[in-house]
């Protein structure tokens, strides 16, 4: 596990989503089908593989740590401010 939570952008092919909800192994906020913002204490590799194992074989998957707070609309802004403080390398802008 990482020392501090890290913010990740997770994407998987929404056409390959399993019937059961995916365990994001962290605090997740959906942006679109198959697209999530996730705050997790797992390393990138561990998070990637734990999500990968829940998807059908060969499903496209992206797991990218975020270095700054992304621009977001009102539906995501409150979630980010409430959860992103204290994350590795993230400054929450107003």
Query: Cα separation of 44 and 61, whole Å?
Result: 12
Residue 89 lies in a domain: no
Q: How many domains does the chain have?
A: 1
Q: Report CA-CA distances (Å) from 67 to 9, 11, 17, 19.
A: 11, 17, 27, 32
The reply to whether 51 falls in a domain is yes
Give the model confidence (pLDDT) of 24-78 as tens digits. 988 898 888 999 999 999 999 999 999 999 999 999 999 999 876 666 666 566 6
Structural domain of residue 13, as residue ranges? 6-83
What SS3 state is found at 2? Answer: coil
In the predicted model, what is the mean pLDDT of residues 76-83? 62
Half-sphere exposure of 43 (CA within 13 A, CB side): 4
* Confidence (pTM): 0.74
Question: Are the C-beta atoms of residues 30 and 12 closer than 8 Å to each other?
Answer: no
**Domain membership flag for residue 1:** no
């Amino acid at each position: 596990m990482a020392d501090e939570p890290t913010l990740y952008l997770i994407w998987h092919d929404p056409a390959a989503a399993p019937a059961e909800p995916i365990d994001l192994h962290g605090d997740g906020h959906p942006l679109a089908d198959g697209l999530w913002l996730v705050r997790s204490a797992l390393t990138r590799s561990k998070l990637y593989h734990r999500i990968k194992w829940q998807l059908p074989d060969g499903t496209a998957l992206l797991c990218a740590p975020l270095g700054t707070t992304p621009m977001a609309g009102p539906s995501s802004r409150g979630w980010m401010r409430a959860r992103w403080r204290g994350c590795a390398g993230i400054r929450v802008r107003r």
